Amino acid sequence: MAERSDSGGVRVQVLLSFSAFSRPTTVPAGAGPGVLKETFLSVYGHRVDVVRNKCVLQIYSDEWGQYVDVPEGFTVVNKCKLRLVPLQSQATPLGNLSPDTTAFLCCDMQERFRPAIKYFDDIVIVGQRLIQGAHLLGSPLIVSEQVPKGLGSTVPELDISDATVVFPKTKFSMVLPDVEAFLATYPHVRSLVLFGVETHVCIQQTALDLIGRGYEVHVVADGTSSRSMVDRMFALKRMAHCGIIISTSESVLLQLVEDKEHPKFKAVQSLIKASAPESGLLLHA
């Protein structure tokens, strides 16, 4: 059953189901899986927490009395019922990093937090090498500042003048609509390197939001801290259990250059020539 739109194109009625929700709509006759998934995301985008290639599109089969995966080359011809099924993969992420597919996120490294956060000056030093590394390798740098009118700007030791974008926020997570829209302009970015404060609040909520949206997240253990080391320790454990990769600044930077022959290797090597501070963070990881 089809209907003609005001623009003259033929559209077909479809019932789109996701989780416990179902909504009727129409799509152009001949629409394939790509258009259908886009339609699902336009309808349920606020509920879908996985990227498109981690979903399976299924159609209701009268022959079998249940939903089956849509066959290769499928297009919508008649009225039908479709559903989008997110795949919850249990595979361990490998954590491979490439400058072309990686962005850095600096979270709330502000002056007002300095007296309260344990080993703050140490994570500032680590933040410096990560920000410089992002600049050297041409990776985007996203910076957030929590209520900057009250809590001040990013500490002066961190040169964020080359940051791709700086966002003020009130929400704990960095995953704001503006940040999501910004990341959408970098469709090649798959891995996000996250550092800042506090580990158990803004870092954890950001990491969980990002992994839920299909990104691979690397939290830099020597670049994040909290007021309480107990909070920090259990946040790192929880994030690791959820598939978030807990790494170190040196490991991240050397993985990004990958080879001694990389044109930026010597510049990155100079950043890590002095080891990261041997702070008390090691005792609370």
Cite the active site residues.
108, 169, 202
- 3-state DSSP assignment of residue 266: helix
Q: How many Å apart are CA 58 and CA 140, to the nearest integer?
A: 36
Strand 191-197 versus strand 216-225 pairing type: parallel
Q: Which of 109, 149, 150 is nearest to 128 (CA)?
A: 109
Q: Is 176 exposed, middle or buried (0-12, 13-18, 19+ CB in 10 A)?
A: middle
Q: How many Å apart are CA 199 and CA 101, to the nearest integer?
A: 24
Q: How many Å apart are CA 275 and CA 285, to the nearest integer?
A: 18
Tell me the two tokens of residue 71. 């066959």
CA 165 to chain CA mean position, Å: 16
Q: Which of 202, 246, 218 is nearest to 108 (CA)?
A: 202
Q: How many Å apart are CA 184 and CA 158, to the nearest integer?
A: 26
